[in-house]
Amino acid sequence: MQLPWLAPGDPLPDAAMAWGESDPVPGLLAAGGGLDVASLLQAYSHGIFPWFSEGQPILWWSPDPRMVLEADRFRLHRSLRRTLLRFAAAPDCEIRIDHDFEMVIQACSEAPRVGQNGTWILPEMVQAYTGLHQAGHAHSVETWIGGELAGGLYCVAIGRAVFGESMFARRPDASKIALAALVAFCRHHGIGMIDCQQNTSHLASLGAREMPRARFLSHVAGARRLSGPSWRFDPVYWSELLPTRSSRPT
């Protein structure tokens, strides 16, 4: 099967045309095109994302099945619950959203990954998602401890469709705290699902699961048309995951 080659500005093929299990690279849809804001919004609005390594052209993907984390299925393990309780109660710990997006995406690009050499978050990707952030469609969720950025993640948002991209940690559990904060934020604002793109054991341990692409695309088509929330974090959002102070044991 021949892979479609796109010139900058060309529309992407339908996500259902991505290569399947019997093709050379399952989930691969097209190559080429551009990483401008309009192209990225078109892609994410139709369940497609870019992912490529140094020396490769822009590659566009839409895997089937799709890994997603439904907000009400987030698995809050006992150890993480204890960590969140301590974090939420500490005066020098806070979640910030979009305080320093560029620092977060740069840290994600430098974070070592098990089984990976190098990074897919190349300078052109940093530039592209920074532009998407400036356009109001990419956000960072940041874990701050003692006045320092300890970890975080960044995501893409169109309406109430949220697409997770990457995370990093400089201190233990800092990326998990940021993910838990994003889940609490989504629950509070009626956002039912966070796209995780591809299956990993780490995401599965936190409650993510695979979903048929057709169902995922249906969700995105509806969620992207809804009014998006104000991207700020209020500590009251922790109540979506943690017991209120009055119900905690003494």
Contact yes or no for 64/20 (Cβ under 8 A)? yes
Reported as a pLDDT band with limits 50, 70 and 90, residue 171 is: very high
Amino acid at the residue 111: A
Helix (H, G, I), strand (E, B) or coil at 92: coil
pTM above 0.85, yes or no: yes
| 250: pLDDT strictly greater than 50 | no
Averaged pLDDT, 180-207:
95
Reported as a pLDDT band with limits 50, 70 and 90, residue 113 is: low
- pLDDT value, residue 21: 93
Amino acid at the residue 84: L
| 115: pLDDT strictly greater than 60 | no
- pLDDT value, residue 249: 40
Give the H/E segment covering residue 144.
Answer: strand 138-145
| 23: pLDDT strictly greater than 80 | yes
Name the nearest CA neighbour of 44 among 170, 117, 174, 135: 135
Averaged pLDDT, 18-46:
97
| 248: pLDDT strictly greater than 50 | no
- pLDDT value, residue 247: 41
